């Protein structure tokens, strides 16, 4: 099936319902990684790509089977309406055209039934527009459970589309039956009413109904003479003074009345209900509560707070096996996300180590350029070493982890990276609780690739908190 707005909405709503059982930290990392991949590929991270990525991650590689089952259920409901509409259309038209030779087929009854069909078509559309669900219990039984608010908002439109499809099948079957009956049987039409209605008034009515096609098919617009000649009364049902061929001249008008005022409205309203359903699906998708959360996760960097538990009564794990070392000598330096703006540590500034800017406000292309340039410089060193300056009060982010992963793939092996979380002043020591997330971050990197160090520090000053 194609990714219609309806299918996208159902698949997105189903995915959001399943994500409710996942930890928030996992969802944030997953969706932020997806947004960064899209940015690197130069594409917009829209819902269609996100759902395709979720299908690949889940191992299915195919559209959500639950959504497919739900759409097939609605297709079966529509097929049931169409089948029932076609059967009742044939039966109804045979009833309207029942003729035994003694009594004329009353055109007035035929017009009244066409008016009823027109009103039912409008009522179905209005019911869908206002969201009324006359068959709510039946729908809930079919889908075995209470639907989500998003699905509940779609059910009136889906039911209305199925009803319009059934109405169109009813009108089509009735039109075909009318044409067949005209061919295979000699039908006699006339008009009559209990009210005291003059022939001129009745001619005005039928002429008004024939306005859409009267200019194209004059024979389908009854003349005043035909109206006057084919009126019959209870006292004189045979109307022997009327020529027999006159009784059959109503059929073109009746065919066009059924086509224009019963069949065509159902067709137009079926297309309208389909368009309204897609429009409502787009609006519900844009306003879905899960959409706002997804956009936030994709736009916000992932921050490692050291909290590894799911129970809110637990405290974050702040224990680390490693301790920070001292700042080693290095020939290259990268300032991450604006670190070092207040100045470099004395051991780096004294030997004028060149520093490259990366992360933060830098774009992915800027980071790629830094990786390429430093890779060339490190390749000329016998012992490649890199110092990466960060701000100690800003916990590690997913972007930094991705940057180091890309660096490890490009820099010569074995390159050693030393993370240096800086305090407010470049030569002061950061507080221990600020160093703990960086030590845990280094532990998660490949063995021996990343270590943490601090400046020599001013021994006569207290660490910043």
Q: What's the rounded Cα separation, in Å, for the pair 460 and 451?
A: 26
Residue 98 has pLDDT above 80, yes or no: yes
Residue 352 confidence (pLDDT): 67
Across 7-16, 191-200, 306-315, 406-415, least confident range: 306-315
- Which has more pLDDT, 345 or 282? 282
Residue 365 confidence (pLDDT): 80
CB 335 within 8 A of CB 392: no
Residue 239 has pLDDT above 80, yes or no: no
Residue 464 confidence (pLDDT): 37
Domain covering 325-454 assigned CATH 1.10.8 in the classification: no
Please tell me the pTM assigned to this model: 0.61
Domain ranges of the chain: 65-286, 325-454
Residue 256 confidence (pLDDT): 95
Residue 268 confidence (pLDDT): 95
Give the tens place of pLDDT for each residue, 102-161. Answer: 678 889 899 999 999 999 999 988 888 887 777 667 666 766 666 778 888 888 888 899
Q: What's the rounded Cα separation, in Å, for the pair 355 and 336?
A: 10
Residue 165 confidence (pLDDT): 95
Residue 22 confidence (pLDDT): 80
Helices and strands in the chain, H and E counts: 17, 8
Strand, coil or helix: what is 403?
Answer: helix
Residue 426 confidence (pLDDT): 66
What number is the average pLDDT over the span 241-268?
86
Mean pLDDT of the chain: 81
User: Cα torsion for 378, 383, 387, 388, to the nearest 10°?
Assistant: 60
Residue 312 confidence (pLDDT): 47
Residue 367 has pLDDT above 90, yes or no: no
Task: Give the pLDDT band of residue 167 (cuts 50, 70, 90).
Answer: very high
The position carrying tokens 């429009």 is 279
Residue 438 confidence (pLDDT): 84
DSSP 314-363: SPP----S---EEPPP-S-EEEETTTTTT---HHHHTTT--EEEESTT--
Give the tens place of pLDDT for each residue, 426-436. Answer: 667 777 778 88
């Amino acid at each position: 099936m194609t990714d219609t707005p309806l299918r996208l909405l159902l698949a997105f709503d189903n995915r959001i319902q399943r994500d409710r059982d996942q930890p928030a930290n996992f969802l944030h990392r997953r969706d932020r990684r997806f947004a960064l991949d899209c940015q690197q590929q130069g594409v917009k991270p829209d819902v269609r790509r996100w759902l395709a990525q979720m299908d690949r991650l889940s191992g299915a590689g195919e559209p959500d089977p639950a959504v497919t089952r739900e759409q097939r259920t609605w297709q079966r409901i529509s097929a049931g309406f169409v089948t029932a509409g076609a059967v009742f259309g044939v039966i109804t038209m045979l009833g309207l055209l029942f003729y035994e030779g003694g009594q004329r087929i009353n055109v007035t009854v035929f017009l009244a039934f066409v008016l009823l069909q027109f009103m039912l078509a409008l009522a179905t559309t209005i019911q869908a527009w206002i969201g009324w669900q006359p068959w709510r219990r039946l729908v809930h039984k079919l889908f075995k459970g209470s639907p989500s608010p998003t699905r509940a908002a779609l059910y009136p439109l889906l039911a209305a589309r199925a009803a319009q499809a059934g109405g169109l099948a009813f009108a089509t079957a009735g039109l075909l039956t009318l044409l067949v009956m005209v061919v295979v049987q000699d039908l006699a039409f006339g008009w009559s009413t209990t009210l005291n209605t003059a022939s001129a008034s009745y001619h005005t009515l039928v002429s008004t109904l024939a306005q859409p096609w009267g200019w194209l098919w004059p024979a389908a617009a009854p003349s005043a003479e035909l109206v006057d000649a084919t009126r019959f009364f209870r006292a004189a049902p045979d109307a022997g003074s009327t020529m027999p061929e006159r009784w059959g001249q109503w059929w073109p008008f009746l065919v066009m009345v059924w086509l224009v005022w019963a069949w065509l409205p159902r067709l137009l309203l079926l297309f309208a209900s389909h368009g309204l359903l897609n429009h409502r699906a787009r609006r519900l998708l844009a306003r879905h509560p899960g959409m706002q959360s997804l956009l936030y996760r994709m736009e916000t960097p992932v921050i490692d707070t050291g909290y590894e538990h799911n129970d809110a009564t637990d405290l974050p794990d702040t224990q680390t096996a490693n301790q920070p070392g001292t700042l080693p000598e290095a020939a290259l330096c990268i300032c991450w996300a604006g670190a070092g703006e207040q100045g470099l540590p004395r051991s780096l500034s004294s030997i004028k180590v060149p520093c490259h800017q990366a992360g933060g406000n830098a774009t992915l292309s800027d980071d790629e350029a830094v990786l390429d340039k430093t890779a060339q410089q490190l390749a000329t060193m016998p012992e490649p070493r890199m110092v990466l300056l960060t701000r100690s009060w800003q916990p590690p982010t997913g972007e930094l982890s991705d940057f180091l992963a890309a660096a490890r793939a490009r820099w010569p092996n074995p390159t050693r990276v030393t993370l240096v979380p800086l305090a407010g002043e470049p030569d002061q020591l950061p507080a221990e609780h600020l160093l703990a997330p960086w030590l845990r971050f280094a532990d998660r990197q490949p063995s021996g690739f990343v270590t943490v160090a601090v400046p020599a520090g001013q021994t006569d000053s207290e660490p910043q908190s």
